[in-house]
Amino acid sequence: MDELLKIEDLCVSYYSYRGVVHALNGVSIDMGPREILGLVGETGCGKSTVGLSIVGLVPSPGRIDSGAILLEGEDLTKKSSDQMRELRRTKLALIFQDPSSSLNPVLRVSEQLVEALVVKRTVGRSEAKETALRLLSEVGITNPAVASQYPHELSGGMKQRVMIAMALTGDPKLLIADEPTSSLDVTMQAQIMELLLELGKKKEMAVMLITHNMGLIAQFCERVAVMYAGNIAEFGNVKKVLKSPTHPYTKGLVSAVRLADKNNLSSIPGIVPDLINMTPGCAFAPRCSYVMDVCAKARPPLIEVGETQETACHLYGNGSESK
């Protein structure tokens, strides 16, 4: 598979008054052109930090400590702020989690889109106004009156469509959607995801979906990376990962989803680890029912356990499954 994006052993830390928060601890992901890739895991596992690292927007006091982020072979970690700004203008786009806080409340929808178009495409305002209406139409907003409205006059789904339109102003090759459906009802979630899928195919654009929702991952993504405590626990083909999960954490997530419509609720015991005081071994070991002595001593590497599946678990240390 040709690679649009390749993340290699990425480590990101936030330097707080309490200590160093190890947000990402050697994350490696690859992504092909036009691929729909899912990134899933608990709150605080590092999903959003992956997206922010790609677009060069890791907030202070955070920084990339080591690793590489290759976009079409170019290492983004070596780029200057101006160079990253140019890439966000042309090749990269990010949809933030909450459209209500991302849109400017004192500017009409058209003004915000026009501003983005003028900056990203260096076009005149009259041409930008026409393009803004076309982009709104592409995301399913066909009523031109919406362009004259303020964000507070729009529903959650409409705001998210506007955010997607703004992300498309630069014709990106990679769109990172960070929890694009978190504030929407189930019906609207499906509509927004169908829209992203359709736009990805139409514009030959890759989409990285960051979410907690395993149902969305199963329905819309081709591959999935399961994250836990700043690491990739499992990575591979969606159908194989969900049907035959190999990592104990993934098994717990999938089991919880499968039992969601029954009376008994499956859950993973314990709590997520403190990212300031990380142990040298597997971060999931304190919650794992398969724990072994080696789990407390060394962090398991991500290894192949099938043709399209990788896992980071000592149960597979020799590349073959341990019963």
User: Which of 184, 180, 259, 246 is CA-nearest to residue 217?
Assistant: 180
pLDDT range class, residue 143, cuts 50, 70, 90: very high
Q: How far is 252 from 245, CA to CA, in rounded Å? A: 9
Q: Which helix (H) or strand (E) holds 120?
A: helix 109-121
**Per DSSP, which regions of the chain are E strands?**
5-15, 20-31, 36-40, 62-71, 74-75, 92-95, 174-178, 206-211, 223-228, 231-237, 303-306, 309-311
Please give the CATH number for the structural domain made up of 5-80+173-272: 3.40.50.300
pTM for the full predicted model? 0.91
* Distant-in-sequence, close-in-space partners of 241: CB < 8 Å, separation ≥ 6: 224, 226, 234, 235, 250, 309
- Domain range summary for the chain, segments of one domain joined by +: 5-80+173-272, 102-171
Number of helical (H) and strand (E) elements in the chain, helices listed first: 10, 12
* 8 A C-beta contact, residue 204 and residue 168: no
State pLDDT tens for residues 229-281.
999 999 999 999 999 999 999 998 888 776 555 566 678 888 889 999 888 89
Asked whether 23 and 63 are in contact (CB, 8 A), the reply is: no
Pull the structure tokens for residue 215: 């149902």
In percent, how much of the chain has pLDDT > 90? 68
Residue 172 has which token pair?
A: 């990106």
For the segment 58-115, what is each residue's pLDDT rounded down to a tens digit?
998 999 999 999 999 999 999 999 999 999 999 999 998 888 888 999 999 999 999 9
Pairing of strands 5-15, 62-71: antiparallel
CA angle 292, 297, 298 (to 5 degrees): 100
